[in-house]
Amino acid sequence: MWIEQAGNVFTDVCIWSSIVDPSESSLKPTTLSACYSTLVRLDDLESHIRELKTQSSTIQSTNTVIVKSVDNVTEQQSLMKNKIDGLETQRQDMCVYLNKLEDKIERFERNTVKTTIEIRQVPKQIKESKDNLYKVLKNLTNTFGLPLEKSELRDIYRQPSKATDTKSTIVVEFSNTFTKTDFLSIAKKRNKSARLCTKDLGIEGEQDPIFISEHLTSRARHLHFLARDVARSCHFSYCWTANGQVFLRKEEGGALVIVKSEEQLNEIRNEQKQ
């Protein structure tokens, strides 16, 4: 554009210079050449400006696409966050439900074994029957001075064990909780005065110790195991079970702690460390 205009101007100037006396003209050839060069540079500048405008328009279009993409990603992230929050709420609700269900199952299992005790480390006998087991139990109750009839038993059996084991646990289900409570109370007192052993069962031979306790659910047994460790490490003087529950006490006459979960035992450990 600028070149075309410059060419027209330059042509007009040349024609005029041929008519007018060159000596009287104020336009020198060098001046005309300088003007033409300036016009050429202006034309180049205009071309660059047009190119920059084109590039700017392209960049603006690209930026618009990027902004839309960012907005789309942001919207997707927001949807994903809402979905994750919803899943977390469901997870928490499910945990609460499972805890309640576990507590309900634990109460049910505890109720099924509320009349049951176990005698551990009892030597096995060849071709053992329930009558043999009843005789062993009868010998023990006679040692306690506690009369026991078959009618007071719901069941008696030996827990499964490895064939190579020479000793295992006998489980006794009494017909009511009164008989169970009396049996455990006497066994506890008797064990304090003289350690209970296989002789008390009427079994001849080497006199090995036996252990009597109430029969616990799997959960209560696990809690009892952990609670004994806490009692040792946190200086609790007493750790015992009663009615299927686990208890801790720092000292005689101290506050009674009913152990209900592993989290509770962890809190006791942490408090002891502080």
In sequence order, what DSSP letters do the residues of 141-195 get, joined into one string?
HHHHT----GGGEEEEEEPP--TT-SEEEEEEEESSHHHHHHHHHHHHHHHHHS-
**Residue 174 corresponds to which amino acid?**
F
The per-residue pLDDT for 20 is: 46
**Beta carbons within 10 angstroms of residue 223's beta carbon:** 21
Q: Is residue 109 within 8 Å of 151, Cβ to Cβ?
A: no
Q: How far is CA 136 from CA 131, 158, 236, in A?
A: 9, 12, 36
Q: Which two tokens stand for residue 84?
A: 């994750």
pLDDT reported for residue 28? 57
Do 190 and 144 touch, CB atoms closer than 8 A?
Answer: yes
- Return the axis-axis angle of helices 262-273 and 218-233, rounded to nearest 10°: 10
DSSP state of 42: H
In contact, 226 and 262? CB cutoff 8 Å: yes
pLDDT of amino acid 122: 95
**C-alpha count within 13 angstroms, C-beta hemisphere, residue 209:** 6
Provide the whole-model pTM: 0.66
Query: In the chain, what is the straight-line distance between the N-terminal and C-terminal CA atoms, in Å?
Result: 87
Tens digit of pLDDT per residue, the chain (274 long)?
A: 544 554 554 455 444 444 444 444 454 566 667 776 777 777 778 888 888 888 888 888 888 889 888 888 988 999 999 999 999 999 999 999 999 999 999 999 999 999 999 999 999 988 899 999 999 999 999 999 998 999 999 999 999 999 899 999 999 999 999 999 999 999 999 988 889 999 999 998 888 999 999 999 999 999 999 999 999 999 999 999 999 999 999 998 889 999 999 999 999 999 887 7
Residue 244 is encoded by which pair of tokens?
């299927």
pLDDT tens, residue by residue, 54-90: 888 888 888 888 988 888 898 899 999 999 999 999 9
Name 211's bridge partners. Answer: 120
